[in-house]
A = this chain, B = another copy of it.
Amino acid sequence: MARVADETRFEAQRHRILKAAATCFNQKGFSGTSLKDVSRQLGLTDAALYYYVKNKEELVYQCYLRAAELGREAMERGINDGANGFEKAYLYIAYHVEIMVGKRGPVAIMSEIPTLKRSHRNEILAVSRRHSTGFEEILESGIDDGSIISCDVRMTGNAIMGSINWIPKWFHGNAKMAKQIVREFPDILTAGLKPTAT
């Protein structure tokens, strides 16, 4: 048995499949992408995908899990790297945006959560909720330490996350624009958070 090597190979291919699927879902829409569309991108046959996922529902689920994981990672890094609430928020946004438009992407837009089977749906919803809550806590910490203006963290959080989540809708891989987004979005999204200079 080629235990370790095989698992690496398998995981690598699985990963490529998830990225291809995310690309298709974002560009062609969920219902507009057949498994053949996904597999063709990798020079495979649609049936081959079933070696890696149980069915299409699971493919979507895995894409969403990966999207959630990448977001979680960005938030964790932001929390670790920022010295105060504002910086944590700023860095999280920067990291997350970078993932959305960078080579680790594409990140699947979670447009089809309702079509997931109950257990998967609940898991994705739970992890999403946790993410939102995490961001709200960052905002609160910033309000507490004076680095962020007093605001409704729920609404502010939704506004900022919406901007980030919507990026794949209008960004389609243009490298120059990717740089622009990474450079400008963090400032744009946090401009309203800064206490007015006194």
Which residues of A are interface residues toward B (Cβ below 8 A)?
27-32, 109-115, 149, 151-152, 155-156, 158-167, 169-170, 180-181, 184-185, 188-193, 196-197
Contact = CB atoms under 8 A, between A and B. Distances in A.
B156 A112 contact: no
Contacts of A196: 196-197
A145 B30 CA distance: 44
Given A29-B30, A162-B163, A167-B162, A155 B111 contact: no
20 contacts: A27-B114, A28-B114, A29-B111, A29-B113, A30-B30, A30-B31, A30-B112, A31-B115, A109-B111, A110-B169, A152-B180, A152-B188, A155-B184, A158-B170, A159-B188, A161-B166, A162-B163, A162-B165, A163-B166, A192-B192
Nearest to A191: B192
Nearest to A111: B111
Contact of A163 (B32, B160, B169, B197): B160
B156 A188 contact: yes
Contact of A166 (B27, B114, B166): B166
A31 B28 CA distance: 12
B163 A181 contact: no
Given A27-B114, A181-B155, A191 B191 contact: yes
